[in-house]
């Protein structure tokens, strides 16, 4: 199922990692993940989330603030009962590990370009094959994943199409326009509305939206540490001014969590 990111030949496991018939070798890190990101495919020296962002997200998620989101995602994924699946942009593995628990008899893969994130993910589950790799060059064979998941993550739609067999689907989890609205009000003079269906215009020919669900609840954040972590794990942590960020951290906050789940299937 794994393919070489350089020549696309099949990869075979060995004691040190994986190699292909063309002699390309990729090491398994001591934490357990496979590094399938060749240096020529990197856009920077350390692509993806840095250690501070990874740690902030780990603390925030471990506190349970987004637990209902992960539970719904796992329920929806389990209803499709895939034999093999991939979580694209798995980060530090919070959602991936819960997907794996809900799908114990399937082959699970978690992929992220951030080595720091995947190192943390390895601590969460031994039932997932963790990969450091590019989302634009996913090292998995064509039509190999009956289910793809994408949680708050960028997505290469052509890669998603390639990986899915006909009848397979992408479960995409992303924010609605109401998500964290109160936080955005505190951070910006003007809260610009955005179209939470804009991504549907990117769906390629041969895929179509089959179902959409929304989960919404109010979340109180009385602890300054939680507010600081929420800022650090979102783009607001660098978009907003330092003064506005400090004001958010200083005062209790209650926000709306509003997330949509799109099930997008490959039809042809």
The whole-number pLDDT of residue 81 equals 93
Rounded Cα gap, residues 175 and 264, in angstroms? 16
Rounded Cα gap, residues 266 and 249, in angstroms? 43
The string of pLDDT tens digits covering residues 29-60 is 999 999 999 865 556 555 667 888 999 999 99
CA distances, 225 to each of 94, 228, 250, 253 (Å): 19, 5, 10, 12
Of the pLDDT bands very low, low, confident and very high (cuts 50, 70, 90), residue 113 is very high
The whole-number pLDDT of residue 49 equals 76
Would the pLDDT of 262 be above 80?
Answer: yes
Task: Output the pTM of the full model.
Answer: 0.94
With the C-alpha atoms ordered 104, 109, 112, 118, is the resulting torsion angle positive or negative? positive
Which residue in 81, 99, 79, 83 sits closest to 91, CA to CA? 99
Contact 169, 264 (CB under 8 A): yes
Which residue in 265, 132, 167 sits closest to 210, CA to CA? 265
Q: Give the residue-averaged pLDDT of 119-124.
A: 95
Q: Give the residue-averaged pLDDT of 190-213.
A: 93
List, in order, residues 6 or more apart from 223 with CB less than 8 Å away. Answer: none
Of the pLDDT bands very low, low, confident and very high (cuts 50, 70, 90), residue 167 is very high
User: What are the residue ranges spanned by the domains of the chain?
Assistant: 11-266
Q: Which CATH architecture has domain 11-266?
A: 3-Layer(aba) Sandwich (3.40)
């Amino acid at each position: 199922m794994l393919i070489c990111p350089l020549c696309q030949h099949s990869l075979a496991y060995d004691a040190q990692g994986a190699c292909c018939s063309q002699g390309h070798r990729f090491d398994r890190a001591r934490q357990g993940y496979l590094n399938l990101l060749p240096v020529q495919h990197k856009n920077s020296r350390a692509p993806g989330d840095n250690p501070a962002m990874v740690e902030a997200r780990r603390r925030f998620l471990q506190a349970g603030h987004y637990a209902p989101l992960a539970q719904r995602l796992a329920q929806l994924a389990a209803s499709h009962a895939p034999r093999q699946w991939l979580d694209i942009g798995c980060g530090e593995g919070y959602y991936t590990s819960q997907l794996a628990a809900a799908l114990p008899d399937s082959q699970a893969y978690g992929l992220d370009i951030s080595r720091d994130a995947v190192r943390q993910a390895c601590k969460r589950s031994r039932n997932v094959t963790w990969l450091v790799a590019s989302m634009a060059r996913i090292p998995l064979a064509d039509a190999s994943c009956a289910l793809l998941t994408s949680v708050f993550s960028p997505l290469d739609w052509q890669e998603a199409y390639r990986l899915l067999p006909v009848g397979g689907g992408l479960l995409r989890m992303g924010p609605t326009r109401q998500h964290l609205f109160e936080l955005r009000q505190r951070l910006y003079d003007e809260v610009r509305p955005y179209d939470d269906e804009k991504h549907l215009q990117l769906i390629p020919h041969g895929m179509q939206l089959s179902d959409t669900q929304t989960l919404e609840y109010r979340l109180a954040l009385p602890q300054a540490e939680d507010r600081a972590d929420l800022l650090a794990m979102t783009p607001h942590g660098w978009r907003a001014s330092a003064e506005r960020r400090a004001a958010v951290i200083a005062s209790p906050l209650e926000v709306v969590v509003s997330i949509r789940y799109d099930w997008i299937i490959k039809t042809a």
